Amino acid sequence: MSEQKAIVSVIVNNYNYASYVQKAIESACAQTYENTEVVVVDDGSTDNSRKIISTFGDRIIPVLQENGGQAAAFNSGLEASQGEIIIFLDADDYLFPTAVERVVSEWKPGISKIHYLLKGIDGNGQPLGYTYPSRGEYLGRGDIVEAMLKEGGYGVAPTSGNALSREVLTSIFPIPVGEYKISADGYLAVATPFYGEILAIEEPLGAYRVHGNNNWGTSMEGKQFRSFIEHDLIKQSLLSDKAAEFGHDVPTDILFRKNGHLWARIASLRLDPEHHPIETDSTLKLMYHGIRSAWLYSSELNWKKKNIITLWFLSVGLLPRPLSKQAIGWLFEQNSRPDFVKKFLALMRPLLNRA
């Protein structure tokens, strides 16, 4: 945009994040772009969050509601806002001061969203040394519908790393609260590409906090992976519906083309086979499809990265369960990696990040 006229709404969604919500709100209020409004949705917190929110007075638009989940918070936040560009900021993350200004400088008519990298930090705000998306994922850009239908997904930033068109959001809101009580960002990631081009900023414009409540690697329980799988199934249904609406066909094996889905699926099976949600799965089947997905349906990865993924699937599938669990942890929690793995990947990173 050539002139700074558009209103940008930063919608902070909070549930029991009293330890972090002040930082999130302060970061939204401190944006260098003047036409920024800050909406704070508290989704029925039972901690000290609402007292903290009240200290911001008329600098924010507060929305206090009973607990309804992330989708309900997003729906309420959009309704209370008036911005032409919308950023949903998770209360445990924060934006850098020039984030909104940078987004507005890149914005143009007809796009559905701009997404950008987020710097990883720990629960105390200390840098983790990598960004989200990490592991060599590139942010999707352009008209990515065909690529999404072919490969089952695309490189996308976490919730706080997306600036979305209000015009597009009004076409797909309200988000169904039953299916998306959590992971409402998944609904947005799947639906928005059908409504316009996607732009990407390959630099961090905010921080993504990795802590106990969202840290996959420290949990290492099948329950968390099962939840991921179940939400992938919901998102696949949404993808099929949107594809049909816009005249596209969806491959019948779409979930076997999505490497991230297969990571979670084999992890769930190896960690807790008795409660794995898909009865027809076997370790050999998931190993085969995981390796096949890396080589046939992961166009953003070079051959070295594909080799590492191949080795990971073989390790998780063939090693005894205690060692398999370690291999799962090395993928999902980068800080859990032993020094020799960290050093190897550090040496490989310049090659892995090369298109």
3-state percent helix, strand, coil for the chain, nearest multiple of 5? 50, 20, 35
User: Which residues are bridge partners to 94 per DSSP?
Assistant: 207
CB atoms within 10 A of CB 224: 18
Average pLDDT over residues 33-62: 98
Model pLDDT, residue 348: 44
Whether residue 152 is predicted with pLDDT greater than 90 in this model: the reply is: no
Domain spans of the chain? 8-214, 217-352
220 falls in which pLDDT band (50, 70, 90)?
A: low
CATH topology of domain 8-214: Spore Coat Polysaccharide Biosynthesis Protein SpsA; Chain A (3.90.550)
Please state at what angle helix 339-352 crosses helix 303-318, rounded to 10 degrees.
150
pLDDT tens across 253-292, in order?
A: 999 999 889 999 999 999 999 999 999 999 999 999 999 9
Whether residue 347 is predicted with pLDDT greater than 80 in this model: the reply is: no
Predicted TM-score (pTM) of this structure: 0.87
Rounded CA-CA distance 301/36 in Å is 37
User: Which residues are bridge partners to 12 per DSSP?
Assistant: 40, 89
- H or E stretch at 54: helix 49-54
Whether residue 51 is predicted with pLDDT greater than 80 in this model: the reply is: yes
Buried b / exposed e along 226-255 (16+ C-beta atoms within 10 A): bebbebbebbbebbeebbeeeeeebeeebb
Q: Percent of the chain having pLDDT more than 90?
A: 71
Average pLDDT over residues 192-220: 82
Q: Which amino acid is at 339?
A: D
Whether residue 303 is predicted with pLDDT greater than 90 in this model: the reply is: no
Cα-atom radius of gyration of the chain, to the nearest Å? 20
Model pLDDT, residue 215: 52
Q: Percent of the chain having pLDDT more than 70?
A: 88
350 falls in which pLDDT band (50, 70, 90)?
A: very low
Rounded CA-CA distance 132/202 in Å is 10
Model pLDDT, residue 281: 96
Highest-confidence range of 86-95, 120-129, 130-139, 317-326, by mean pLDDT?
A: 86-95
Whether residue 304 is predicted with pLDDT greater than 90 in this model: the reply is: no
291 near 310, Cβ under 8 Å? yes
